[in-house]
Amino acid sequence: MNMTFRWYGDDDKVTLEQIKQIPGVSGIVSAIYDVTVGEVWSLEKIMDLKDEIEAYGLELLVIESVPVHEDIKLGLPTRDRYIANYCETLRNLAEAGIKVVCYNFMPVFDWTRSELDHELPDGSNALIYKHETVLKMDPLTGELSLPGWDSSYTKEGMKDLLAQYKSVTEEDLWNNLKYFLQHVIAVADEVGIKMAIHPDDPPWSIFGLPRIIANKENLERFINLVDSPNNGIALCSGSLGVDPNNDVPEIIRYFGKKGRIHFGHCRNIKITGEKCFEESSHKSADGSLDMVEIMKAYHDIDFNGPIRPDHGRMIWGETGRPGYGLYDRALGAAYLNGIWETLEKSN
């Protein structure tokens, strides 16, 4: 297992100097953020990112994410151009030595929360999700913006995009995902990159948009769309775990034995009602997920890929990118490494 840490580049308040001081963290998860979605990432830009990270004695282990253009998800005739660009980006990433690429296939919006700085009883702040609140939100107002969301759309552009999705069913989205995979996984096989799809977050429809990577059954359908060992999963405990029907340790063991888990996101959440949750510390007792059992599941499948602590609370007065402060994620990395070391020594 390689413990990694998400870094958002030079605009991130968290620095590489700080990350390298976290015990047990040797890898960085990052991306290139100044290229328009759908365009090719140049080898030069990729190498600049890699060189900057390596200058601190760290290693760029995972690219998260190479965004999938909406025309691909919509199945528009223009998708072939964007898929070709995506494949060229993968070739450039492979030339730079990148082995794992994380991505998602969520229409329009990436991970979604209803509040960014909800105060918890201990005085820390966390991301939360209340479905009733989201149902009342108008995505055209721009009242909520989260890291990872594409902010390039104008209000009219967003209106047009949402209108296009009104005729897209879940089955349509499955078909468009298969078309994308048939092209992209062929290149991944050619250059030796493991593609890891991130589950929908949360794993249910929002704003009337279809979402399909939501549970064990759907993940099984996904890996069978293109049967390649490089067609795999970024197993996010927090995304899947907000649905109490998802047994996260069992899902890890099931897909891990198939060799299809290429990346692990370890996040704890506390379920507060039906389709309602708040993000907690990584500690098992603080949330609804048993992180010890989750790490044991990874250990049981001899997982040797990258894992990262996922969203953390904002603690000790830290401000910055919601969910991506330094302190709580560093504590999470230390906690997860402690569980892993205990499991290793108990064998």
Minimum mean pLDDT among 10-14, 159-163, 192-196, 291-295: which range?
A: 159-163
Place 151 in a pLDDT band, splitting at 50, 70 and 90.
low
146: pLDDT strictly greater than 90: no
Percent of the chain with pLDDT over 90: 88
pTM of the shown model: 0.95
Domain 2-346 matching CATH 3.20.20.150: the answer reads yes
Can you give the pLDDT at residue 143? Answer: 58
Q: What is the mean pLDDT of residues 3-10?
A: 96
Answer whether residue 147 shows pLDDT above 60.
Answer: no
Tell me what pLDDT residue 326 has. 98
- What confidence score (pLDDT) does residue 96 get? 98
Query: Could you give the residue numbers annotated as active site?
Result: 198, 236, 265, 310-311, 324
Res. 110 pLDDT band, cuts 50 70 90: confident
* HEC readout, the chain: CEEEEECCHHHCCCCHHHHCCCCCCCEEEECCCCCCCCCCCCHHHHHHHHHHHHCCCCEEEEEECCCCCHHHHHCCCCHHHHHHHHHHHHHHHHHCCCCEEEECCCCCCCCCCCEEEEECCCCCEEEEEEHHHHHHCCCCCCCCCCCCCCCCCCHHHHHHHHHHHCCCCHHHHHHHHHHHHHHHHHHHHHHCCEEEECCCCCCCCECCECCCCCCHHHHHHHHHHCCCCCEEEEEEHHHHHCCCCCCHHHHHHHHHHCCCEEEEEECCEEEEECCEEEECCCCHHHCCCCHHHHHHHHHHCCCCCEEEECCCCECCCCCCCCCCCCHHHHHHHHHHHHHHHHHHHHC
In this predicted structure, what is the pLDDT of residue 142? 61
Does 41 score more than 70 pLDDT? yes
pLDDT at position 139 is 77
Residue-wise pLDDT tens digits, 111-121: 889 999 999 99
pLDDT reading at 137 higher than 70: yes
